Structure 1
């Protein structure tokens, strides 16, 4: 049975840092978004770029990567200490056009993750997906 969630998407702007190959960091702002209409995914919008870039990936990667290294393919996430000894989470994002390493403070990311999991608990995502509608959409394309 499909559950209904009437909550709006949560969006949180966070200060992040781009980490270059020399280990030097450059501040940037990114917008994290979780929409229960797409319960398995989380998005990060990098709007500081000349052309905004949105990355969408499995929310489980963000949750698991907060605690331990995880990832497969284009997205890898792991906890770490930055050069000042502060707890951060590293995101490594790869695409055919390049790869980027960014870090976000663990405290800020923790607040976002808690909101996301409070809205849709881990393991409850599947109850929000209408498989019949998804299959019908795929077959009509």
Structure 2
């Protein structure tokens, strides 16, 4: 019996851009699993979920930096935060060229930065990531399932069962 490759998980930091003069540093967990070979997951701390923000305890009222230098089915609750799921192909394309339609947009920014825009009915979040960190994660995901080989790892019967459940 063949053992499934271990999932890829990497924690990195992102800047949640609040305005031209305000941003908040937050930790983001990137996940990739060969059992869902077409998808990348980003997990954000629960206190940053747009629908969970309470004006009396707004996480953005904490310590902020003035600038970064002086980063799909959206919003799936998980035990350790809020998870966004989108295509690995979109993730890869957005590192080099503006990519995305609908809820997730990814584009390169000045320097070694990548912008990720997430849209939901509750609002829009603009995040800035270090592109090198995102490339490292993508490279590790390609070690698990090489680019272009995703369909060989896709369990269509399981995916259909989950869809119809």
TM bin, normalised by shorter chain, reads 0.7 to 0.9
Give the TM-score of the pair, scaled to structure 1.
Answer: 0.85
How far the C-alpha of 1:137 sits from its partner, in A, is 4.8
8 Å CA contact 1:12–1:32 kept in 2: the answer is yes
Residue equivalent to 2:31: 33
Superposition RMSD in Å = 1.9
> What does 1:43-122 align with in structure 2 at a 5 Å threshold?
43-47=41-45, 49=47, 52-81=81-110, 86-122=111-147
In 1, Cα distance between the equivalents of 2:157 and 2:46?
39
Give the TM-score of the pair, scaled to structure 2.
Answer: 0.73
Q: 1:101 to 1:131 in 2, by over 3 A?
A: same
8 Å CA contact 1:29–1:48 kept in 2: the answer is no
> Does 2:5 align with 1:7?
yes
TM-superposition CA deviations, 1:44-94 (whole Å, max 9, x none): 11126266211111111110001111001000000111xxxx311100000
SS of equivalent residue, structure 1 residue 8: coil
8 Å CA contact 2:27–2:44 kept in 1: the answer is yes
TM-superposition CA deviations, 1:5-24 (whole Å, max 9, x none): 72111110001101123253
The answer to which of 114-123 and 94-103 deviates more is 114-123
Structure 1 unaligned spans of 5+: none
Residue equivalent to 1:135: 160
Residue equivalent to 1:16: 14
The answer to which of 22-31 and 47-56 deviates more is 47-56
Identify which of 123, 126, 136 aligns with 2:151: 126
